[in-house]
Amino acid sequence: MLEVSNISVTYGQHHALSDAALHVERGEIIVILGANGAGKSSLLKAIAGLLPSPAKIVKLAGRDLSRLPPHEIVEAGLALVPEGRGVFGELTVAENLLLGANPKRARAVEAEQRAKVMTLFPRLGERLAQTVRTMSGGEQQMVAIGRALMSNPEILLLDEPSLGLSPLLVRELFAALRKVRETGVGLLLVEQNARESLAIADRGYLIENGKITGSGTAAALQSDDAVRRAYLGGL
Ligand code: ATP
C-alpha cells in the first residue's frame, strides 16, 4: 500500500536520516522504535512532504507521491498526526473535525467519517461544542487523530501519540488505533512506548542514529535480546 525509500533528511551539516526505507500494508500497524533524536519525527515529516528529502520515493497504492506538496499528499490519502497534536486550541471539537474534512477526497464522505470518529472516540461526540484548549491531553490527542481520520486516509502517520498520557489513557488510545486498523487503514506509528506499541503492532522497524538498523514482526522484535535491552527495560 505505502512504499517509501531513499528518505534522507539533513539539517545544515547534520544528517538526521540516511536512506530510510519501509512499507506499510492495508490494515497493518507498523511501529518505528528509536531513542530520542534517532530521526523518527524527521522520517514521518519527510514522508508527509513537510521536510525536504530530494531523492525520496513515496508510493501509495502504486501512485507516485514523491514530488507532491503536503496538501496533495493528504489529498492522495496520507494523513499525519504530528507530535504535540497540532490541534486548533481556540476552536471547538466540531470545528477541528470539520477542518480535517477539507480535502476533496473527504467531502463526499464527511458524515460517514464523522460517524466513524464518534464510534471510535465516544467522548468527542459528547464534547463537540467544547473548546479544545480546555480538554485534557488524552482528549486533545483524540481530537488530533479524529481530525486526521476526517480526511479519509488510506494511511495514518502518528508521531508519538502516547506522549504525556497516563497508562490508562495509553491503553484506551491503542485500543482505538486497533479499531482504526479494522477499518482497513494502515497505521505507521512512531513511539517511545515500545512495550505497548509492540503489543498492538504487526511489524516494526528500529531506527538508530538516522538509519534503519532492523525490522521484523512485532513478535520477533519482542523476543529479540537487543530490543529487550534497548527498549523493553531488559526484561
Ligand atoms: P524525539 O523522539 O526526541 O522526538 P526523533 O527520533 O523524532 O526524536 P528527530 O526529531 O527526527 O528525532 O531528530 C533527528 C535529529 O535531527 C536530532 O539529532 C535532532 O536534534 C535533529 N533535528 C531535528 N530537527 C531539527 C532542526 N529543525 N534543526 C536542526 N536539527 C534538527
Model pLDDT for residues 105-164, shown as the tens digit of each residue: 888 899 999 999 999 999 899 999 999 999 988 889 999 999 999 999 999 999 999 988
Share of the chain above pLDDT 90, in %: 78
Residue 57 lies in a domain: yes
Distance (angstroms) between ligand 1 centre and the Cα of 219 equals 28
Mean per-residue pLDDT, 86-103: 92
Distance (angstroms) between ligand 1 centre and the Cα of 197 equals 21
pLDDT band at residue 235, thresholds of 50, 70 and 90?
A: low
pLDDT band at residue 41, thresholds of 50, 70 and 90?
A: very high
Closest-lying ligand 1 atom to the alpha carbon of residue 192: 2
Distance (angstroms) between ligand 1 centre and the Cα of 41 equals 7
Instruction: Name the residue at shortest CA distance from atom 1 of ligand 1.
Output: 36
Q: Which domain holds residue 39?
A: 2-82+152-231
Looking at the structure of the chain, the number of domains it has is: 1
Residue 21 lies in a domain: yes
- Does residue 144 contact residue 87 with C-beta atoms inside 8 Å? yes
Residue 188 lies in a domain: yes
From residue 104, how far is each of 54, 76, 82, 153 by CA, in Å? 27, 10, 21, 12
pTM summary value: 0.92
Residue 181 lies in a domain: yes
DSSP character for 133? Answer: G
Give ligand 1 pocket residues (Cβ under 6 A). 11, 14, 16, 34, 36-42
Position 31 pLDDT exceeds 80: yes
Q: Cβ of 190: how many Cβ atoms within 10 Å? A: 25
| Nearest to 79, CA basis, from 145, 143, 140 | 145
User: In this structure, what C-alpha cell is assigned to residue 198?
Assistant: 509492540
How far is the C-alpha of 120 from the C-alpha of 76, rounded, in Å? 23
Residue 38 lies in a domain: yes
Q: What is the mean pLDDT of the chain?
A: 92
Q: What is the CATH classification number for the domain harbouring 71?
A: 3.40.50.300
Closest-lying ligand 1 atom to the alpha carbon of residue 41: 7
Q: Which helix (H) or strand (E) holds 196?
A: helix 194-200
Residue 127 lies in a domain: no
Residue 12 lies in a domain: yes
